[in-house]
Amino acid sequence: MKSHRKELWFDIPSRRDYINITREVEREILASGIKEGLCLVNAMHITASVYINDAESGLLKDYDAWLERLAPHAPTSQYLHNHTGEDNGDAHLKRQVMGREVVVAITNGQMDFGPWEQIYYAEFDGRRRKRVLVKIIGE
Amino acid sequence: MKSHRKELWFDIPSRRDYINITREVEREILASGIKEGLCLVNAMHITASVYINDAESGLLKDYDAWLERLAPHAPTSQYLHNHTGEDNGDAHLKRQVMGREVVVAITNGQMDFGPWEQIYYAEFDGRRRKRVLVKIIGE
Amino acid sequence: MKSHRKELWFDIPSRRDYINITREVEREILASGIKEGLCLVNAMHITASVYINDAESGLLKDYDAWLERLAPHAPTSQYLHNHTGEDNGDAHLKRQVMGREVVVAITNGQMDFGPWEQIYYAEFDGRRRKRVLVKIIGE
């Protein structure tokens, strides 16, 4: 069994954003030399998500508006978590809707994807350096 | 390390439906000959989910009504994604609530499941051929 | 390839609670002797979740209040599932928001975690014995 590990770093200038990281993950699968296996891609921070969906700019705005309806940022006082001095209570909730991680099959040395699958990093509390972990195991 | 791969195909005649695929995944685990490992089951399309929950017909209707409240299909114009000519903006949101994938442990050649766990394919934009990937690794 | 399996048992005295199980999972990773691999942690019951987020007591209350807004327990008659004699329809919905499972990378024999990642068991229908599965594969 082989394994491969890489951290992807982000420093998103806004509070929230949605970044396509498919190419970065593909590069690590190639670098791993693994032909058959599984690739875990997870946010290492708890106010961000990694998810798989469409690379369509309207949809990214739909996600953002919908998450704001399900877990609004303001008023920040509505979250007990923010009484600790934080203002990111909403980000911890939004991240649960979109998820922490994806697991991707590797077949013949490539991501085993349907026609529209793209891997996204979703930032819900940006303006600082944060990481995504890519961990690959297989042969 | 061994690996095994299978695509399951669906052509759901309605827009939304919930299909129990536990037996189909069990069959692939048996076919793989893998005794200890992990089994990834993921929707290969971005308007469908694979999830694990109860095989109870009332619950399936509860899920459907609840997802319609969280992300209603109509009016379709409420989603920017639909301005591209699609009418499935809601399906991309519903899929995030229910998830893309499950990872199932394999122990002694079988799914390592609690008493009520069943694997479902949830279709949110049917009436065309779509796929689920089953990828198994282990020994 | 090596594998390791452990069930963690819970008997939560209230309907809902959020329990940090990071130390228990760490102990199994150590017991497995696996240095590089993947660790699956999943609820074996369909009215409970395993998720990764912050160990902060205000946030746990925020999650609980938010899940009650998204999928209220009462009136129990609002869920068709409860017409079977159950009163846990809401728990099946809450569990989908928070997820069934997490997959954790193992690097150098340890959980490969960001600074604030903690593994939680979320119970949505307690007052009986329920289980979490820890399954580890790697080398």
Quote the DSSP letter at residue C72.
-
In sequence order, the β-bridge partners of residue A41 are A102, A134
Question: Most B CBs within 10 Å: which of A62, A102, A113, A120, as the mutation test of the B interface?
Answer: A62
**Which of A44, A45, A92 shows the shortest C-beta gap to C59?**
A92
Residue C78: what pLDDT?
98
Is A97 close to C97, i.e. CB distance below 8 A?
Answer: yes
Window 103-132 of B: residues touching A by CB (8 A cutoff) are: 103, 131
Local structure of B138: helix, strand or coil: strand
Chain B CB contacts of A137 under 8 Å are: 137
Closest by Cα among B92, C92, B51, B119 to A116: B92
Between CA B7 and CA B28 the distance in angstroms is: 10
Q: By the 8 A CB rule, do C132 and C50 touch? A: yes
Chains that touch B (3 or more CB pairs under 8 A): A, C
**C103/B99 Cβ within 8 A:** no
Tens digits of residue pLDDT in B6-28: 999 999 999 999 999 999 999 99
pLDDT digit string (tens) for C22-78?
999 999 999 999 999 999 999 999 999 999 999 999 999 999 999 999 999 999 999
pLDDT of C60 reads 98
Q: Is B51 on the interface with A (CB under 8 A)?
A: no
Confidence band (pLDDT; 50, 70, 90) for B127?
very high
ipTM field: 0.97
pTM above 0.95, yes or no: yes
Contact at CB, C46 and B138, closer than 8 angstroms: no
DSSP string, chain A: -EEEEEEEEEE-SSS-EEEE-HHHHHHHHHHHT-SSEEEEEEESSTTEEEEEE---HHHHHHHHHHHHHHS---SGGG-GGGGGT-S-HHHHHHHHHH-SEEEEEEETTEE---TT-EEEEEESS-SSEEEEEEEEEE-
Residues C67-112: tens digit of each pLDDT: 999 999 999 999 999 999 999 999 999 999 999 999 999 999 999 9
Is B5 in contact with A51 (Cβ distance < 8 A)? no
For chain A, the straight-line distance linking the first and the last C-alpha, in angstroms and rounded, comes to 5
Kindly state the average pLDDT of the residues C4-22. 98
Q: Which residues of chain A have pLDDT under 50?
A: none
Residues forming a β-bridge with C98 = none
Q: How far is B135 from chain A (nearest CA, A)?
A: 6
Give pLDDT, residue B58. 98
Nearest to C38 among A40, A96, A97 (CB): A40
Place of tokens 């899920």: B63
The pLDDT tens digits for B97-117 are 999 999 999 999 999 999 999
Q: pLDDT grade, residue B36 (50/70/90)?
A: very high
- Nearest CB to B101 within list A53, A59, A103: A103
